[in-house]
Structure 1
Amino acid sequence: MARGSWTRDAEALFTASRRGVITVAHLESLGVPPATSYRRCLPGGPWQRLLPGVVLLRTGEPTRRQLIEGALLHCDGQAVVTGVEACRRQGLNRAARPDEPVHVLLPLHLKVSSTGYVLVERTKRMPAPVRSDDLLLAPPARAVLDECRRLRERPPIRALLAEVVQQLGVDPAELVAELGAGSKRGTALPRSVLREIADGARSAAEAEAMAVWRRTGLPEPVWNLELRDGRGRYIATPDAWFDEVALAWEIDSYEFHFGQPGYAATLARNNRYSAAGVAVVQTVPSRLRSEPHSVASDLVSAYRAAAARPRPPVVLLGRHDRAPASRAARQIRPSAMS
């Protein structure tokens, strides 16, 4: 483009950009003097500055994709997007926070620093990237753990890891292996949460339910195994199951169970429980956090009621068949709930 002709061909500038995002150096190669680029980014001008040396060729709020393009240009195109952004672009159903940084990985020898909304992490262990929509992304296991290492509280780590296991199909064993291969900094909480997931919890609410169960003094339930009736017909896969008394505990989270069309499926599940004579306790996740003592009391009461009636002929797949427990075997261990 001849010097000065850019003023007559704004479309050519946009074509040379990445969704409207371009470096000042690239603009200079197209005939736009750096002083002109910066002047056009001043208040009232037609462009805006995203990052040092990176310009958006319009005003208004940048899109998330434009912010990512700016971050990649800041890193000279050598970065891989990681963190929750990389997970989201591989199928995680989670909206971006307004203040969420764009987290990128760079080879250790490059001297690019974090700035503005860009979080630059230099690493000697660059992942083999996944390409999606012309972006290079860290694989889900690496991306989610890069995010979790920065978090300082258990609930958001628990929720994020559970979502990645559920929505992206990441094997917990893969997460454990990835955690062991990387930096040990910031891994204590993710390791603890992964142990919960490995024990059978497949949602953040189920992991919290385990903590509530420990308050009750009840026998340990099994988690997420398939239940069938005496004729071999499928009933459900309860979140927690107390086999001796045929009591199911379902953590009916809107986020994990009641999304459309999940509500109708939940009603159908409850009808199957009723037809099979199975007692069921339903708990919403907010009560696990706000009223753990009350939830534990409800669970103990339901267990006692279930133990007082004949056990229905239902079978849990993956467990050896057992003879019906005697009344003595069904007694609740002494606990603070008595």
Structure 2
Amino acid sequence: MNQNTPITPRPLPLTADRLRAALLHTRDSEAMITGLAALALHRFSSAPALPALDRIDVLVPRTRRPRSTGGVRVVRAQDMPEPLDLSGIPVAPVARALADAVSGLTDAGMVRRLLTEAVRGGHCEPGMVVRELNRARLLDRPHVVDAVDSLLAEGRSIAEERLYQMVREFALPDPLWNVDLRLPGGPHLGGLDAYWPDQAVALELDTRAPRQDDDALWSEYTRKREHLERLGITVVHVTPRKLREAMDQQATVVRTALMAAKDRQPAAYVVVLPR
């Protein structure tokens, strides 16, 4: 061969064919694409393009015994999620695909970018991501914990923006935003995302992440709510997912609580402080 003749690289298999070949490798009808390949199919801009991936991750039930090869990594699951059909390819949901991708990543920057895009791009809520990371026992890795902290901050910021949007677009009365309540000369009652003092209606965003201490944190939420309601304050509990998927319904819940105030006994006097 002439020394000056350019060497033509061997082309990668067509994307769809490569994905189907990875699924066929497992010989399992329940197999689905997961990890970075799945995120690429979910159109994550921060995930490598499919042709750039050295291997394809395939999720199979734990009881199956297919082996990984150079181009296919077999990931086993105790509980298989419901796959999504993307262009005829069974693909793991975003939260599960993220956990499987993160399990093989040591690049803290990429982990953070993937988790942030999941929330900012509206693919899923932070709690769903953290639940899968916890299930995969990845929350003991420092670079994952740092990324989760950023994810939760991003998720709360987006949820707060949607809350402001709900009040504005559905013409609800303006509340006092981000306040602390106290009894006069008494104990701290807790922080609230919004409070309508004339109607004694409080709103709290539930942005908890399902981690190891979730039960204790939920007990704290419950105690605060029960204490406020004993004082005659109505507490509306809203999740980021409800704000994203059914904002009109949440606005109706708040409006109903505000309108019902005139039929309730007057609430105890509380001191409202900025948080």
State which structure, 1 or 2, has the greater radius of gyration over its C-alpha atoms.
Answer: 1
Q: Which has the higher contact order (CA 8 A, sep 6+)?
A: 2
TM-score normalised by the chain length of structure 2: 0.48
TM-score normalised by the chain length of structure 1: 0.40
The structure carrying a bigger helix percent of its residues is 2
